[in-house]
Amino acid sequence: MAKLLYQGHGSLRLTTERGKVIYIDPFAGEGYSEPADLILVTHGHHDHNCVDLPVKKSGCVIWQYSDALQNGEYNTLRLDFATVKAVQAYNHHHRREECVGYIVTADGVSVYFAGDTGKTEDMSKMAALNLDWAVLPMDYTYTMDIDEAVECAELIAAKRTIPVHMSPGKLFDINRAVKFNAPGALIVRPGECVEL
């Protein structure tokens, strides 16, 4: 079964059943010693783009937001162990042309990593995708606030939704996390791993 490690802030590590390792927005916490097969970066801000942090396997693919979004087109990356579809991500602090989210499908499980965003047009179409998991930010300064994140979770309608990127300068904020009362909400602390 695939596993998702929350490293803190907006950083996560997904490991497939076959041991393929995908890092999303490396920056925070620990757990970077597992050699990467794929590194995904949602945008260029320093707290999402520390691609030198993970150990890398030979042939590791680093897919930046600039690869995922070109000339207004959202691209799809197909590897033998995962498919990654880029989707919209933007808000008052992140330009539409410089930020993406990712829907990662591996081992038959789909996970939406929203990146730093607010509500987008794409989210209204996601319920039809029957996503298994969504990972949404809610720090109120650089991303959306809790109420908007709950609204987005309801729109997306994933089976489970994990709140991340909760408070500027912090790996995690339990006082904000417990207020994320969306259907299927799951609080995951930094260093905790969930089976997908």
- Local structure of residue 161 (DSSP, 8 states): E
Average of per-residue pLDDT across 158-178: 95
Amino acid code (one letter) for 37: D
Residue 142 has pLDDT above 90, yes or no: no
Query: What CA–CA distance (Å, rounded) separates 13 from 191?
Result: 10
Q: Measured in whole angstroms, how far is the alpha carbon of residue 161 from the centre of its chain?
A: 11
- Looking at the domain 3-187, which fold is it? Metallo-beta-lactamase; Chain A (3.60.15)
**Could you report the per-residue pLDDT of 28-70, keeping only the tens digit for each?**
999 999 999 999 999 978 888 999 999 999 999 999 999 999 9
The domain limits of the chain are 3-187
Q: What is the rounded distance in angstroms from the CA atom of residue 29 to the CA atom of residue 146?
A: 23
- The confidence score (pLDDT) of residue 151 equals 98
Q: 4 CB contacts (<8 Å, ≥6 apart)?
A: 12, 13, 14, 15, 111, 133, 162, 188, 193, 194, 196
Residue ranges in the chain assigned as alpha helix (H)? 65-68, 146-156, 174-177
pLDDT digits (tens, 9 = 90+) for 91-118: 787 787 889 999 999 999 999 999 999 9
pLDDT digits (tens, 9 = 90+) for 170-189: 999 999 999 999 999 999 99
**Using the 8-state DSSP alphabet, how is residue 140 labeled?**
S
Task: Quote the pTM value.
Answer: 0.96
